[in-house]
Amino acid sequence: MSEITKQKIPCPKCGKLIDIDVWDSIDIPYEMEQKEKVLHNTFFKQTCPECQFSFPLAYKCLYNDMEQKYLIWLAPRLEEEEKAEIAEYNDKLKTDNRLRLAQGGYTYRVVRNDNELREKVLIFDEGLDDRYIETMKLVYVPAFKKNIAKDSKILGLYFDKKSSGEGYQWVLIFDNKPPVIADINMDIYEDMKEKLKDLVEEKTGEGFVQISAPWAMDIMTSRIDGTKPQAQ
């Protein structure tokens, strides 16, 4: 079960020290309330009681869905210490038979922020494969860049479910304007699965892996070049 510790941090606006709860993990199905907070982008949101300023504060945390069998390691900094922890866990998966048996069939991912965590949870809840979602983004990004103002920068592109519950959409986050919504053509997803399956499987290493834009770009570059990728 999750361990929760109390910490004090300064409010980035007024400087007052505020108390926060830091969770080492979110264990599903035991903490469904926390899952809902993750999906609504409120789990890592803090509010200063002095000035009422609200701000996101992501920290190292493990999201463990024991029903759907996936583990997501949130590592905001992903510095040498965290990389070493991840590498150590991956090595343990290869050598510890008890761990391999207990977590057989699990999918392992590394994410850097709360938006990425939310996106992965949504994707897996929908029974989709995040590797093809990530490669599919590369098809859409050039068109998005053509249609945005020159003084705007895309900070993030995230998969989302439509509020109607029918179909999916992209959410584009910008540096200087509100988010923009765009429909997703899932035929492209199915096409990616058919054409990239072997390459994607070869490129997906064992244990925790970061399936992100650079990973997807490497997949597409390898396909264009006709080179055989090395699993990371």
Q: Where are the domains of the chain?
A: 1-127, 129-232
pLDDT attached to residue 231: 40
Number of CB atoms found within 10 A of residue 223's CB:
15
Mean pLDDT in the chain?
A: 92
Residue 232 pLDDT class (50, 70, 90 cuts): very low
- What is d(CA 85, CA 19) in angstroms, rounded to the nearest whole number? 27
Q: How far apart are CA 149 and CA 191, in angstroms?
A: 31
Would you call 86 helix, strand, or coil by DSSP?
Answer: helix
Q: What's the CA gap between 86 and 222, in Å, rounded? A: 26
pLDDT for residue 102: 75
Residues 188 and 201: their CA atoms lie apart, in Å, by: 18
- Residue bearing the bigger pLDDT, 54 or 146: 54
Please, which pLDDT band fits residue 229 given cuts at 50, 70 and 90?
very low
Mean pLDDT of 180-202: 95
Largest CA distance in the chain: 58
Mean pLDDT score, 176-189: 94
> How does pLDDT run across 60-103, given as a tens digit for each residue?
999 999 999 999 999 999 999 999 999 999 999 888 878 877 77
The 3-state secondary structure of 191-209, one letter per residue: HHHHHHHHHHHHHCCCCCE
| Mean of pLDDT values over 116-126 | 98
CB contact burial 51-70 (16+ within 10 A = b; e otherwise) = eeeeeeebbbbbbbbeeeeb
Nearest 5°: CA angle at 96, between 84 and 1? 75
Compute the distance between CA of residue 126 and CA of residue 132 in angstroms, rounded to an integer. Answer: 13
CB 226 within 8 A of CB 169: no
What are the helix (H) ranges across 62-185?
80-95, 97-102, 114-125, 130-146
Task: Compute and round to an integer the Cα radius of gyration of the chain.
Answer: 19
| Residue 25 CB contacts under 8 Å (≥ 6 apart), including other chains | 2, 3, 61, 62, 63, 64
pLDDT value of position 192:
94
